[in-house]
Amino acid sequence: MVHIVPPMSCHGNNATPPGPAVAPGVDNIDPAAIARETARRGMHPRLAHALPAFDAPFFQAGLAGYSDAAMRIIARRHGAPLCVTEALLDRMLLGGGRGFDKADLAHQDDQLLADNLPCGHEDHPLVGQIIGGDPDEMAAAALKMIEQGQRHDKDYRKIAYGDGELPHYVDTRWAIACESEDALASASDDTAEPTPPPAPTPPRAPAASPTNRSFATIDVNLACPVKKIDRKNRGGHWLRDPQGAIDILKAVRAAVPPEIPCTVKLRRAYDDTPEMARNFEHIFAATFELGYLWATVHARTVEQKYIGPSRWDILKDIVARHPQAVVFGSGDIWQVHDIFRMIGYTGVAGVSVARGCIGNPWIFRQARQMMAGESPTAPTLDEQRDVLEQHFRLCVALNGERAAGKLMRKFGIKFSHHHPQGEAVRARMIAVNRTDDWLSVLHEFYPSPDRAETSQTTAAAR
Ligand SMILES: Cc1cc2nc3c(=O)[nH]c(=O)nc-3n(C[C@H](O)[C@H](O)[C@H](O)COP(=O)(O)O)c2cc1C
C-alpha cells in the first residue's frame, strides 16, 4: 500500500501581511553597513567548520506547501546558500510514504533534471526537518531521513517496529561523504568491513559532491503552531512540556551519527507568561548541552501563530544572554534590508528567510549584492519570465504536467508583485487552474524577446 506523506502543515489561513517587527531603535541601523561588515567578518567559526558551503548568513526557511525541491533550486540559483525542507511528520515518514518522492526529482525520468537531485550538487546543503510526538519515533524518522539517499532502511525499522532500542551506531557516513558512485556501490555492500567512526566532535560535513544524498543537518521542529493531533504533542506545543521536548532532542541526537549535526527550530515561547519564558530557557540550554549545532528562534509565540509582529527585542536578549550559542533568527523578514537589520539589531549568526522569499528568490541575490557593497537590484521582466519558466519546469518534473499549473498558481500570485502590471497579473494568476491557464498568463504578461519580436514584425507587416 502506498501511503501519501503530506508535509506537516505549519500554517493556517491567518498569516498577516508584511509588517515590522518589535525592535525599538532598529531605524538607527544602516543595513548596507551591516551587510559589508557581515561579509568582512565571515560566518560563525562553528558554521564555517561544520558546513563550509553555508557561506552567507541567511537561508531559505522550511515552508510547508512551498519549499519543495523546485523552490529550493530556484532559491539556490539566486544565492541561497542553505535550504530547509518542510517539516516532515515522523509517523508518516516511518509509514514508508511518498514524502521523499515528492521532494525527490530522482523519481522522474526527465534527463534534463538528472543533475538536480536533492542533495545533489545543486540542492545542497539541505537541512532535513522532522516533527513529531514521540522520542523513539522521532529518532527513527531522523535515521530514515539520513538513510533515504541510500534507500537502506534497516536501522530505522529496528527502532520503529522493534523493541524500541536505539542502535549503538549507524554508519551512514558514506551517504554524505562518498565522492564517487564506486564508493556508493562498495559502501552499500553488506559484506564490506565497517569503517570505524571518526572522532565525533566537532562535526564537519563534507563539501558538496554530485553523489551527496543525505541531509546536512537534521532539524527538530519545536515551532509549528498546528494543534496537537491524536492527543500527541508536536512542534511548538512541546514548549509547554520542556522535559518532553528535551527527551525528543536527546533521542534524535543519540540516533543520528555524530558527524551529522543536529539543529532545532523553536518559537521564543508558547505564550507570554513567565512560566513559558522559563520553559524556553530550559529547552534552549539543553539543546546546546546536547551538542546541537544551532537553534533557529522564531520570535513569535506559538499562540501568535503567524499573526502580529515578531519580537526582535526578545531575540536580541536571548542572543546576548547566550554568547556561546549559534542562534539564527526568524520572523518578519520581508525584504532584503530586514536580513541585515535583524543581524545588526539582534546579533544572530544567521537569518531564516520565510514568507519574504515566496515569489521573491531575488532577495538572496540582493543580500549577496549588499554584502559585496553594491546596491540591491530589482528583477527585470526578462529575469522574472526566466525564473517563472525555470520554476515551472522544475514543478513539472516533481509533480507532473497536469498538476503543475494549479501548483504554480500560488507562486505566480506572489511573483506578480514584481510585475509592472502587478494587479492584472495577480488577478489572472488567481484564476489559474490548469497548466494551459498558467502558460497563457505567462505568454500574455511575460513575453519572451523572441515572441515580442515576432508580434512586432507581424504588427509591422499588417
Ligand atoms: C506557509 C508556511 C509554512 C511554514 N512551514 C514551516 C515548516 O515546515 N517548518 C518550519 O520550520 N517553519 C515553517 N514555517 C515558519 C517559517 O519558517 C517562519 O519561521 C515564519 O514564517 C516566520 O517568518 P516570517 O515572518 O519572516 O515569514 C512556515 C510558515 C508559513 C507561513
Nearest to 336 by CA among 383, 381, 368, 299: 368
Task: Quickly count: other Cβ atoms within 10 Å of residue 184's Cβ.
Answer: 16
Span from the CA of 229 to the centroid of ligand 1 (angstroms): 19
Angle between helices 435-445 and 381-399 (to 10 degrees): 170
Q: What angle do CA 90, 244, 138 make, to 5 degrees?
A: 20
- Alpha helical stretches, state H, 97-180: 99-102, 135-147, 154-161, 173-177
Q: Does the beta carbon of 139 sit less than 6 angstroms from any atom of ligand 1? A: no
Q: Does the beta carbon of 358 sit less than 6 angstroms from any atom of ligand 1? A: no
CA 328 to CA 349: how far, in whole Å? 6
CA 108 to CA 165: how far, in whole Å? 36
CA 163 to CA 304: how far, in whole Å? 39
Residue 201: strand, helix, or coil: coil
User: Is 357 in contact with 75 (CB distance < 8 Å)?
Assistant: yes
Nearest to 283 by CA among 231, 216, 352, 223: 223
359 φ/ψ angles, rounded to the nearest 5 degrees: 75, 15
Q: Tell me, what DSSP letter sits at residue 59?
A: E
**Which residue reads 548596507 in cell numbers?**
32
Atom of ligand 1 nearest to the CA of 310: 25
CA 37 to CA 448: how far, in whole Å? 39
Span from the CA of 457 to the centroid of ligand 1 (angstroms): 47
Residue 118: strand, helix, or coil: strand
CA 141 to CA 88: how far, in whole Å? 9
Q: Does the beta carbon of 63 sit less than 6 angstroms from any atom of ligand 1? A: yes
Q: Does the beta carbon of 221 sit less than 6 angstroms from any atom of ligand 1? A: yes
Residues with Cβ < 8 Å from 160, sequence gap 6 or more?
94, 136, 137, 140
Residues with Cβ < 8 Å from 376, sequence gap 6 or more?
336, 365, 366, 367, 369, 370
**Which residue reads 525599538 in cell numbers?**
24
Residues with Cβ < 8 Å from 280, sequence gap 6 or more?
239, 266, 267, 268, 269
**Which residue reads 509582529 in cell numbers?**
309
As given in the structure block, the three cell numbers for residue 349 are 549568526
Span from the CA of 60 to the centroid of ligand 1 (angstroms): 10
Give pLDDT, residue 96: 62
Span from the CA of 4 to the centroid of ligand 1 (angstroms): 22
Residues with Cβ < 8 Å from 453, sequence gap 6 or more?
none
As given in the structure block, the three cell numbers for residue 442 are 505567462
Residue 454: strand, helix, or coil: helix
Q: What angle do CA 209, 210, 216 make, to 5 degrees?
A: 55
Atom of ligand 1 nearest to the CA of 221: 11
Residue 53: strand, helix, or coil: coil
If you take atom 18 of ligand 1, which residue's CA is the nearest one? 354
Nearest to 441 by CA among 461, 415, 403: 415
As given in the structure block, the three cell numbers for residue 257 are 551519527
If you take atom 16 of ligand 1, which residue's CA is the nearest one? 354
DSSP of 189-249? -TTSPPPPPPP-SS--PPPP-TT--S-SEEEEEE---SPPBTTB--GGGGGG-HHHHHHHH
Residue 26: left if φ>0, alpha if ψ -120 to 50, beta else—which one?
alpha
Give pLDDT, residue 229: 60
Pocket test for ligand 1, best of 355, 413, 414 (most atoms within 8 A of CB): 355
Query: pLDDT 10s digit of each residue in the chain, 462 long?
Result: 323 334 445 554 445 678 899 999 999 999 999 999 999 999 999 999 999 999 999 999 999 889 988 899 899 999 999 999 888 888 877 876 544 544 444 443 332 222 223 434 677 888 999 999 999 999 999 998 887 744 433 344 444 444 444 333 222 222 222 222 232 233 233 333 333 333 333 344 444 333 345 789 999 999 999 876 656 778 999 999 999 999 999 999 999 999 899 999 999 999 999 999 999 999 999 999 999 999 999 999 999 999 999 999 999 999 999 999 999 999 999 999 999 999 999 999 999 999 999 999 999 999 999 999 999 999 999 999 999 998 998 888 777 788 888 889 999 999 999 999 999 999 999 999 999 999 999 999 999 876 554 444 333 333
Pocket test for ligand 1, best of 13, 63, 67 (most atoms within 8 A of CB): 63
Please name the amino acid found at residue 176: I
Q: Does the beta carbon of 268 sit less than 6 angstroms from any atom of ligand 1? A: no
Give pLDDT, residue 113: 27
CA 42 to CA 52: how far, in whole Å? 11
Span from the CA of 77 to the centroid of ligand 1 (angstroms): 21
**Which residue reads 523546485 in cell numbers?**
70
Residue 26: strand, helix, or coil: helix
Cα first-last separation, the chain? 61
Q: Tell me, what DSSP letter sits at residue 359?
A: T
Give pLDDT, residue 323: 97
